[in-house]
Chains A and B, each alone.
Chain A
Amino acid sequence: MSETLTGAQALIRALEHEGVDVVFGMPGGAILPAYDPLLDSPIRHILVRHEQGAGHMASGYAHATGRVGVALVTSGPAATNLITPLQDAYMDSIPVVAITGQVAQTSIGMDAFQEAHTWGISMPVTKHNYLITDVEEIPDVIREAFHLAATGRPGPVLVDIPKDLLVSTLTWHRPGEINLPGYKPSIKGHPKQVQAAVELIHASERPVLYAGGGIIRANAADRLRRFAEVANLPAVTTLMGRGAIPDSHPLALGMPGMHGNYTAITAMQKSDLLVTIGARFDDRVTGKVDAFAPDAKVIHVDVDPAEISKVRFADIPIVGDAGAVLEQLIFAMEHLLDTKEPPARKEWLDTIHRWQQEHPLTYEQDPDGPIQQQFVIQELHRITGGDAIVVAGVGQHQMWASQYWGFERPRTWINSGGLGTMGYAIPAAVGAKAGAPDELVVAFDGDGSFQMTLQELITASTEGINVKIMVLNNSWLGMVKQWQKLFYNERYSATDLSGGVPDFVGLAEAMGCAGLRAERPSDVAPAIEKALAINDRPVVVEFRCDPDAMVFPMVPAGGSNDDVVLGPEGLA
């Protein structure tokens, strides 16, 4: 049965074949033909107000659901507006497929209206990208793009389609076998390496399980927890790995790194073995690399061989999918424990517990003083029971959210880790809620971060995507101000956001959202209760927060993780 379709129809059908239920986008000249068959498709289109929003929504969707997020935009400025979210998704290994219109092939290279060299510009910010040159390729390229985005180390893939191909015709065929001779991601780890790893773990006295975002990407949180228990391994979860093991678990140590807690940082620093799974020794985790965990041997499990020994030499490298390798590790460890005593590690675990007692995260909420940002996060957690998907922008509020929210399950923490993209929260929350409509989706945002992408609240209200945005307004670019306070003699260059404008409540209302404000600590809980009760539109709650609050603990940039600064007095 042969059926003649336009390239545009074939594109939409190919997306349907991939199981796509929602795309985030905005039409324009070159992509216009693809928008016509979209009207007849069950795929939901969410009309964004800026293409950057489409990219981050696709990312938020992918974070929350584990499925590939899709952005659909036109050529030129629309495609260049996607570059930030593509690099963001690339850094955090988020599966996203971006489809961009391109000028007609006869116009390519002619500096045509809305022409940009999208393929060239997007090459270094994608896992792979395509410029389609033959209408017959459309079904197969879409198949490949989704396969590449979702498998191995996930990441963004861009498909650029010239307009003339969208309006020419092909005989529809279901995509054939994927033929990528150079792409064969490893799944299982090498059995000898797995055996060597469990023996080393068994023999180690001060091991730490260093769990990263790869655990979440691989849907392996259940196996991570099981392995931690079988091998009796205390576990840190990186910024991207929060929720990989429940924060309430006795072996969970929370977040390490520049703004990690004392115990997580110090346990890594003093360990004799880092069991690294789906993490990449990011500079925000290691601090000064030469001084990082100096006595530790390293087991490094990663699906991307290029991450292994990139920053830190791996004594035992294991290339494979985190979930598959964890199954092997659990099996091998259980087998080992048939004949050997389980490692008690009492001294090490006691030391860790002592650190936890001596150096908990702390802040003080003066009932008559300004609202502390941490207090808002804890109150929301208390009132919701923690049962929400939490999204963050980038800055102080992001660090506090990661520190103070107790994450109990994977895919409940969505943030921009590697790229640190301010403005991520609102569109990512919209994407997450579009993918997981039955979940409560709450974003913590800073006032600076909020102002970068706030127009996507119009998308949210017009599309009926009822996210709840908690703006921790300190009227400053708070993280930069913190650095100016600590390292630039309190010379606050260009960080004052001139408190008072915008009027966040009025702004929210103008965009079709409910706007609420909390000015005193006693307002916090009632404002949250009220926000949770409004379910017919998105809600923005502005919390007027302490402009001088700083994020601690802190390891100053380039410093050694031996020198954790617990509060402002530590930097004197």
Chain B
Amino acid sequence: MRPGNMTQHVITVLVEDKPGVLARISSMFARRGFNIHSLAVGPTADASLSRMTVVVDGPEMEQIIKQLYKLVNTVKVTEHPPGSAVEREIMLVRINAEPSRRGEILDAAGIFDSKAVDVGKTTITFEVSGEPDKLSDFLELMAPYGIVDLVKSGRIALGRDPKSRNGRRPELRTA
């Protein structure tokens, strides 16, 4: 909705676990004209708090983060530059699979550490989870067979522990 370089940004929002807090966040995004690419909500280790992972399309995050903080139930907002967080999505995807091609499809899917979770007469449904790129790659690979249906969770993200082995500084990480 706003002009400019539409890059994706990942932010996590720690909110008080109160009724309607999701509505407050989505209402604020709608009112201010910010675009949500995906949004995932769930509990945290602290029962009084929920964590939302929001993937936002937009040129800059400063105003979005400030507006999030302005909501009374928002406790903390963290922007995750590429590589600074562990990011995961999960997907269920149903692929056209005539019996003659099943083996081929299962072989290809195996590379991705995916799981066949449902098999029909002419389709196989896979569960795939991992970094968003991995899910895209999987879909690209399966596209020629025919994607019948798919469902994706929103992305979830947790900032890396700065002392962890994988806690690379964002600028050191290659795309």
**Quick check: A310 and B63 within 8 Å, CB to CB?**
yes
B27 is contacted by which of A123, A305, A309, A310 (Cβ under 8 Å)?
A: A123
Per-position contact with A for B16-37: 1 when CB-CB < 8 Å, else 0?
1001100110011001000000
Shortest distance from the beta carbon of B110 to any chain A beta carbon, whole Å: 46
**Chain A residue nearest in CB terms to B31:** A124
Binds A, one of B66-74, B94-102, B115-123, B128-136: B66-74
When A123-B23, A181-B16, A182-B75 are in contact, do A304 and B31 touch as well, CB less than 8 Å? no
B15 at interface by CB-CB < 8 Å:
yes
Per-position contact with B for A116-133: 1 when CB-CB < 8 Å, else 0?
000110011001100101
A494 at interface by CB-CB < 8 Å:
no
A306 is contacted by which of B16, B23, B70 (Cβ under 8 Å)?
A: B70
A82 to B81 alpha-carbon distance, docked (Å):
43
When A123-B24, A124-B31 are in contact, do A182 and B16 touch as well, CB less than 8 Å? yes
A148 at interface by CB-CB < 8 Å:
yes
When A120-B23, A123-B24, A124-B31 are in contact, do A181 and B75 touch as well, CB less than 8 Å? yes
Q: How many A-B residue pairs have CB under 8 A?
A: 41
Shortest distance from the beta carbon of B16 to any chain A beta carbon, whole Å: 6
When A120-B23, A123-B24 are in contact, do A306 and B75 touch as well, CB less than 8 Å? no
**Quick check: B66 and A305 within 8 Å, CB to CB?**
yes
**Quick check: B24 and A182 within 8 Å, CB to CB?**
no
Q: Which residues of A contact B104 (CB under 8 A)?
A: none
Q: Which residues of B contact A124 (CB under 8 A)?
A: 27-28, 31
A180 at interface by CB-CB < 8 Å:
yes
**Quick check: A182 and B74 within 8 Å, CB to CB?**
yes
**Quick check: B72 and A133 within 8 Å, CB to CB?**
no
Q: Which residues of B contact A180 (CB under 8 A)?
A: 72
**Quick check: B67 and A306 within 8 Å, CB to CB?**
yes
Q: Which residues of B contact A309 (CB under 8 A)?
A: 62-63
Q: Which residues of B contact A120 (CB under 8 A)?
A: 23
Shortest distance from the beta carbon of A563 to any chain B beta carbon, whole Å: 26
Q: Which of B44-95 contact A (CB under 8 A)?
A: 62-63, 66-67, 69-75
A507 to B73 alpha-carbon distance, docked (Å):
48
Q: Which of A462-513 contact B (CB under 8 A)?
A: none
When A124-B27, A124-B31 are in contact, do A305 and B69 touch as well, CB less than 8 Å? yes
Shortest distance from the beta carbon of A142 to any chain B beta carbon, whole Å: 15
Per-position contact with B for A386-413: 1 when CB-CB < 8 Å, else 0?
0000000000000000000000000000
Shortest distance from the beta carbon of B54 to any chain A beta carbon, whole Å: 16
When A124-B27, A181-B75 are in contact, do A306 and B66 touch as well, CB less than 8 Å? yes
Q: Which residues of A contact B71 (CB under 8 A)?
A: 182
Q: Which residues of A contact B74 (CB under 8 A)?
A: 182
Q: Which residues of A contact B72 (CB under 8 A)?
A: 127-128, 148, 180, 182-183
**Chain A residue nearest in CB terms to B48:** A181
**Chain A residue nearest in CB terms to B20:** A119
**Chain A residue nearest in CB terms to B63:** A310
Shortest distance from the beta carbon of B112 to any chain A beta carbon, whole Å: 40
A428 to B20 alpha-carbon distance, docked (Å):
32
A133 to B15 alpha-carbon distance, docked (Å):
20
Shortest distance from the beta carbon of A456 to any chain B beta carbon, whole Å: 30
A378 to B63 alpha-carbon distance, docked (Å):
43
A124 to B71 alpha-carbon distance, docked (Å):
11
**Quick check: B23 and A304 within 8 Å, CB to CB?**
no
A310 to B63 alpha-carbon distance, docked (Å):
7
B70 is contacted by which of A123, A131, A181, A304 (Cβ under 8 Å)?
A: A304
Q: Which residues of A contact B31 (CB under 8 A)?
A: 124
Q: Which of A154-213 contact B (CB under 8 A)?
A: 180-183
Q: Which of A289-327 contact B (CB under 8 A)?
A: 304-306, 308-310
Shortest distance from the beta carbon of B34 to any chain A beta carbon, whole Å: 13
A123 to B23 alpha-carbon distance, docked (Å):
9
Q: Which residues of B contact A304 (CB under 8 A)?
A: 70
**Chain B residue nearest in CB terms to A307:** B66
**Chain A residue nearest in CB terms to B64:** A306
**Chain B residue nearest in CB terms to A181:** B75
Q: Which residues of B contact A306 (CB under 8 A)?
A: 63, 66-67, 69-70
**Chain A residue nearest in CB terms to B14:** A182
Shortest distance from the beta carbon of B71 to any chain A beta carbon, whole Å: 7
Q: Which residues of A contact B73 (CB under 8 A)?
A: 182
**Chain B residue nearest in CB terms to A125:** B31
Q: Which residues of B contact A310 (CB under 8 A)?
A: 63, 66
A308 to B62 alpha-carbon distance, docked (Å):
10
Q: A124-B28, A182-B16 are in contact. List 10 more A-B contacts (CB 8 A).
A: A124-B27, A131-B19, A148-B72, A182-B73, A305-B66, A306-B67, A306-B69, A306-B70, A310-B63, A310-B66
Q: List 30 A-B contacts (CB under 8 A).
A: A119-B20, A120-B23, A123-B20, A123-B24, A123-B27, A124-B27, A124-B28, A124-B31, A127-B72, A128-B72, A131-B20, A180-B72, A181-B16, A181-B75, A182-B15, A182-B16, A182-B69, A182-B73, A182-B74, A304-B70, A305-B66, A305-B69, A305-B70, A306-B66, A306-B67, A306-B70, A308-B66, A309-B63, A310-B63, A310-B66
A residues whose Cβ falls under 8 Å from a Cβ of B: 119-120, 123-124, 127-128, 131, 133, 148, 180-183, 304-306, 308-310
B residues whose Cβ falls under 8 Å from a Cβ of A: 15-16, 19-20, 23-24, 27-28, 31, 62-63, 66-67, 69-75
